[in-house]
Chains A and B, each alone.
Chain A
Amino acid sequence: AQTVTQSQPEMSVQEAETVTLSCTYDTSESNYYLFWYKQPPSRQMILVIRQEAYKQQNATENRFSVNFQKAAKSFSLKISDSQLGDTAMYFCALRNSGNTPLVFGKGTRLSVIA
């Protein structure tokens, strides 16, 4: 069975600072995909960043980047220059290839403080 663990229920960061959210996972598959989704209060979940397990290079999307450590089964999200609009729940998720259903962690509630 696949599992995703987010060990930080809540975090806060000052505006313009950098924050890192942790995620570990377990899977027996060799080909899989990892995601970070953002769920703002009362709004729909949107994709922040994705990583293919077969790619060694860490994914980057503007202020968002990941540190993918395949051997350690770790997939952390770094948010640089935090903005008030980054306040949200962040979910780490995993799925096999072929657009199979996602397995989510419990989430980390991030608050960006002015």
Chain B
Amino acid sequence: DTGVSQDPRHKITKRGQNVTFRCDPISEHNRLYWYRQTLGQGPEFLTYFQNEAQLEKSRLLSDRFSAERPKGSFSTLEIQRTEQGDSAMYLCASSLETGNTEAFFGQGTRLTVV
């Protein structure tokens, strides 16, 4: 297992288009988290899953954002009708549910909306 992987690494899209990002967590991790990081800021929580169940969504997650983890393995984050303010690094992390262990992060997907 090579860790948390995210695809694509970079995405440039025109305003108004839809985009989808994928995250593959560490295989034995049942918790999966999405964060957004803008320039000069720390990551901000968006949503997280335990297996296929979405446990919590941040108020930052507008109706244009949706996330799924259909089989409790990989997850997708979709942004509809992208806006320039959506430009950011989208980070995925995974962890075990128990044991109070650390979260492992992927390299992120950098989205630029033009």
A residues with a Cβ closer than 8 A to B are 4, 6, 9, 33, 35, 37, 43-47, 50, 52, 91, 93, 97-99, 101-107
Contacts and interface: CB of A to CB of B under 8 A. Distances in A.
Contact of A91 (B43, B93, B103): B43
Contact of A45 (B44, B56, B91): B91
A44 B106 contact: yes
Contacts of A105: 42
Give chain B's interface residue range (CB within 8 Å of chain A).
20 to 34
24 contacts: A4-B42, A6-B42, A33-B100, A44-B3, A44-B105, A45-B105, A52-B100, A93-B42, A98-B100, A99-B96, A99-B99, A99-B103, A101-B33, A101-B35, A101-B56, A102-B35, A102-B43, A102-B103, A103-B45, A104-B35, A104-B42, A104-B43, A106-B40, A107-B42
Nearest to B4: A44
Interface of B: 3-4, 31, 33, 35, 40-45, 48, 56, 91, 93, 95-103, 105-108
A33 B43 CA distance: 17
A106 B41 CA distance: 5
Contacts of B43: 45, 91, 102, 104
A84 to B, nearest CB: 21
Q: For the complex, would chain B's binding face be called helix, strand, loop or mixed by DSSP majority?
A: loop
A66 to B, nearest CB: 15
Nearest to B33: A101
B36 to A, nearest CB: 11
Contacts of A101: 33, 35, 45, 48, 56
Nearest to A6: B42
